[in-house]
Amino acid sequence: MTQDKTYIRKAAYEYGWDWGPKFVTSGIWKPVRLEAWDNARIADFTVRQRDVSTDVAHLSAEVEVLAANAGTARVSVLYDDAAKHARATADVTLHSGINVIAFPLEIRHPKLWYPAGYGEQPLYKFTAQVGSVGSVVEQRDVKVGLRSIVLRRELDKWGRSFELVVNGIPVFAKGADVIPFDSFPNRVTTADYRRILESARDANMNMIRHWGGGYYETDEFYSICDELGIMVWQDFMFGNEWQPGTYAFKQNIEAEAEDQVRRLRNHPSIVIWSGNNETELGLNWAPRDKLPTDVKAQMWQDYLTEFSGILPRVVARLDAETPYWPSSPSADYEPLSEHFQSGDTHDWTIWHGRAPFSDYEKHHWRFVTEYGFQSFPEMRTVEAFTLPEDRTGIFTPVMLAHQKNNEGNSLIHDYLTRDYPEPKDFASFLYVSQVLQAEGIKIGAEHFRRSRPETMGSIFWQLNDCWPVASWSSIDYYGRWKALQYYARRFYAPILVSPHVEDGSVKVYVVSDAVVAKKANLRVRLMDFDGKVLLEEKHDVDVAPLASKVYLDWPLKKLADAGANDTSHVFVLAELTQGGAEISRNLTYLAPVKEIHLKPATLNVESAGANGSFKIRVTSPVLARSVYLSFGNLDVKVTDNYFDLMPGETREITATSSASLNELKTQLKVISLTDAFGTSVEPSVKASTN
The last residue of a domain, from among 467, 491, 515: 491
User: What pLDDT does 38 receive?
Assistant: 87
Residue 637 to residues 18, 477, 654: CA-CA distances in angstroms?
30, 16, 8
Q: Are residues 388 and 323 in the same domain?
A: yes
Instruction: Indicate the number of domains in the chain.
Output: 4
pLDDT over 90 (residue 648): yes
The pLDDT tens digits for 256-283 are 999 999 999 999 999 999 999 999 988 8
Q: Is the pLDDT of residue 398 over 50?
A: yes
Domain co-membership, 532 together with 444:
no
**CB 683, CB 669: distance < 8 Å:** yes
pLDDT at 338 over 80: no
Q: Both 504 and 452 in a single domain? A: no
pLDDT band at 27 (very low <50, low <70, confident <90, very high): low
How far apart CA 214 and CA 217 sit, in angstroms, is 9
Residues 6 or more apart whose CB falls under 8 angstroms from that of 434 comprise 375, 376, 378, 482, 483, 484, 642
Axis-axis angle for helices 483-491, 426-450 (nearest 10):
20
In whole angstroms, give the CA distance from residue 496 to residue 639. Answer: 19
Sign of CA pseudo-dihedral 556, 560, 566, 568: negative
Residue 2 in domain:
no
Q: 567-600: per-residue pLDDT in tens?
A: 999 999 999 999 999 999 999 999 999 999 999 9
pLDDT in tens, 421-475: 999 999 999 999 999 999 999 999 999 999 999 999 999 999 999 999 999 999 9
Pick from 623, 510, 488: which is nearest to 577 by CA? 510
Q: Which amino acid is at 541?
A: V
- The reply to whether 509 and 376 lie within a common domain is no
Classify residue 649: in a domain, yes or no: yes
Neighbours of 150 (CB within 10 A): 15
- Residue 386: φ, ψ to 5°: -130, 160
* Residue 71 placed within a domain: yes
- Nearest-5° angle of CA 426, CA 673, CA 635? 65
Do residue 486 and residue 523 come from a single domain?
no
Q: How far apart are CA 624 and CA 439, in angstroms?
A: 15
Inside any domain, residue 1: no
Contact 215, 180 (CB under 8 A): yes
All residues at 6 or more sequence positions from 598 whose CB lies less than 8 Å from its CB, including other chains: 529, 622, 623, 625, 673, 674
436 and 398 in a common domain = yes
Shared domain check, 309 and 281: yes
- Residue that is last in its domain, among 595, 612, 630: 595
Classify burial at 293, counting beta carbons within 10 Å of its beta carbon; exposed 0-12, middle 13-18, buried 19 or more: exposed
Cα(19)–Cα(466) distance, integer angstroms: 9
Is residue 83 scored above 50 in pLDDT? yes
CATH number where 568 lies: 2.60.40.10
- Tell me the HSE value of 270 on the side-chain side, using a 13 A CA sphere: 29
- The lowest-confidence range among 58-62, 196-200, 291-295 is 291-295
Same domain, 389 and 535: no
* Cβ neighbourhood burial of 313 (10 Å; 0-12, 13-18, 19+): middle
Question: Is 7 a member of any domain?
Answer: no
Residue 252: alpha-carbon gap to chain centroid: 31
SS3 162: coil
pLDDT value of residue 36: 87
Distance between CA 163 and CA 151 in Å, rounded?
6
Domain presence at residue 3: no
pLDDT tens for each residue of 41-55: 999 999 999 999 999
Q: How far apart are CA 269 and CA 201, in angstroms?
A: 13
For range 554-564, the mean pLDDT = 96
Please give the angle made by the CA atoms of 511, 512 and 517, to the nearest 5 degrees: 130
The predicted model gives 61-86 an average pLDDT of 92
Domain boundary pick from 491, 522, 552:
491
Q: Please provide the average confidence, as pLDDT, over all residues in the chain.
A: 93
Residue 31 lies in a domain: no
Q: Is the pLDDT of residue 689 over 50?
A: no
> pLDDT value at position 11?
37
Is-contact 411 471, C-beta < 8 A? no
Confidence of residue 399 (pLDDT cuts 50, 70, 90): very high
Does pLDDT of 316 surpass 70? Answer: yes
Q: What is the DSSP string of 459-506?
A: EES-S--SSSSSBS-SB-TTS-B-HHHHHHHHHT-SEEEEEEEETTEE
Cβ 196 vs Cβ 475: under 8 Å:
yes
Residue 10 has pLDDT above 60, yes or no: no
Amino acid residing at 128: A
Band (pLDDT 50/70/90 cuts) for residue 156 is very high
For residue 579, the enclosing domain spans 495-595
Strand order in the sheet with 495-502: 495-502, 505-512, 547-555
Residue 683 reports pLDDT greater than 60: no
The pLDDT assigned to 23 comes to 41
pLDDT > 60? residue 9: no
- The CA-based angle 595-596-600, given to 5 degrees, is 135
State mean pLDDT over 607-634: 97
**In the predicted model, what is the mean pLDDT of residues 558-566?**
94
- For 568, phi then psi, to 5°, come to -80, -5
- The stretch 289-296 carries a mean pLDDT of 88
Element housing 233 (H / E): strand 231-235
CA atoms of 37 and 466, how far apart (whole Å)? 40
Please report, for residues 1, 9, 11, 28, the alpha-carbon distance to residue 23 in angstroms, rounded to integers and kept in the order given: 9, 9, 9, 14
Q: Identify the three-state secondary structure at position 583.
A: strand
Residues 620 and 507 in one domain: no
Residues 124 and 188 in one domain: no
- Note whether 670 and 638 are same-domain residues: yes
pLDDT band for position 291 (cuts 50, 70, 90): confident
Please give the model's pTM, rounded to 2 decimal places.
Answer: 0.94
Does 23 fall in a domain?
no
Which candidate, 374, 362, 524, 545, places its Cα nearest to that of 447?
Answer: 362
Does the pLDDT of residue 476 top 90, yes or no? yes
- Assign 3-state DSSP to the chain and report helix, strand, coil percentages, each to 5: 25, 35, 40
Query: Do 310 and 169 share a domain, yes or no?
Result: yes
Please say if the pLDDT value at position 8 is more than 80: no
pLDDT of 17 > 80? The answer is no
Proportion of the chain above pLDDT 90, given as a percent? 86
d(CA 533, CA 145): 51
Name the band, by pLDDT with cuts 50, 70 and 90, for residue 22.
very low
- Which is nearest to 382 in space by CA: 403, 407, 359, 361? 403
